[in-house]
Amino acid sequence: MLDEGVSFQMGRVQAVTAPHFDEVDHSFFEAETERAPFTWGVFDQKNQSCGILKRSGVSLSAREISSKLEILLNSTNIPEEAGFRVVVDPIVDPDGFIKQLQNAHSIVKFSFTAEFENPFDVEGLIQRPAEKFNEAVGGTRTKVEVEGDSLDKEILEDLSRAVAATGDDAAASVRTTERAPSKRIYLKGTPLQEPVPLQEPMETEDAINPLQLMLKATRDAYNRLRNALP
């Protein structure tokens, strides 16, 4: 357990063929063996987000990792007994999408999707009502779309950050000039990433647990996403 967080390990057991040396015959041979590469993860209870340490040979794409973590969490009895299903979605960095919204002459159409109600940190004007509606009617996904001559960029930027934080989809039609045809853009891109600062080994009471540093990095990335922090 960490301060407002939980650490965990993710990995896989692989069968590999590796060279060995027979000290009796003094010869080399190949034999099947197992290797179990793993990486560390942290769950931030405050922001309900996970951070996975990117490690060569273990970490797959963000979508593959989130899918495997979702399967692992739902394989326990806890979600079923509570009447819930755990959903883990990758969070993409929305900055490129938002910059296109900001630089556009006008936004003439905007749409986003909403799934089940997420009780934490969603945009209150339309995202939360859309989630509640989707749950009330028994939907798997609800799509909300708005059109206009020049939609409010500030409201749509805030909504885009909230949609990215919940792992949902968004798209917009923008005009680069007053008379230019509209161009469709999509909220997609690289997974949200945050460097974990390395520390020199210290044998003092002031030494910080590396997993606590991971938790802080995860929290910083999420706060930057939601609040447009530098």
Which of 77, 56, 76, 78 has its CA nearest to residue 11?
56
Q: Is 189 helix (H, G, I), strand (E, B) or coil?
A: coil
Under the banding of pLDDT at 50, 70 and 90, the label for residue 200 is: low
Compute how many other C-beta atoms are within 10 angstroms of the C-beta atom of residue 26: 7
Residue 197 reports pLDDT greater than 70 = yes
Which of 66, 37, 73, 38 has its CA nearest to residue 50?
66
Residue 50 reports pLDDT greater than 70 = yes
* Mean pLDDT, range 215-224, rounded to an integer: 94
Q: Which of 6-20, 41-55, 57-71, 163-177 has the lowest mean pLDDT?
A: 6-20
Mean pLDDT of the chain: 88
> What's at 103, amino acid-wise?
N
Q: Is 18 helix (H, G, I), strand (E, B) or coil?
A: strand
Which of 14, 155, 37, 31 has its CA nearest to residue 98?
155
Question: 153-165 and 127-136 are packed helices; what angle lies between their axes, rounded to 10 degrees?
Answer: 50
> Is the distance from CB of 194 to CB of 217 less than 8 angstroms?
yes
* Mean pLDDT, range 165-189, rounded to an integer: 95
* Mean pLDDT, range 185-189, rounded to an integer: 93
* Mean pLDDT, range 58-87, rounded to an integer: 88
Q: Is 46 helix (H, G, I), strand (E, B) or coil?
A: coil
Compute how many other C-beta atoms are within 10 angstroms of the C-beta atom of residue 198: 7
147, two tokens: 């059109």
Residue 35 reports pLDDT greater than 90 = no
Q: What is the pLDDT of residue 17?
A: 77
* Mean pLDDT, range 31-41, rounded to an integer: 80
Percent of the chain with pLDDT strictly greater than 90:
60
Which of 5, 105, 95 has its CA nearest to residue 51?
5
Q: What is the pLDDT of residue 202?
A: 46
Under the banding of pLDDT at 50, 70 and 90, the label for residue 229 is: low
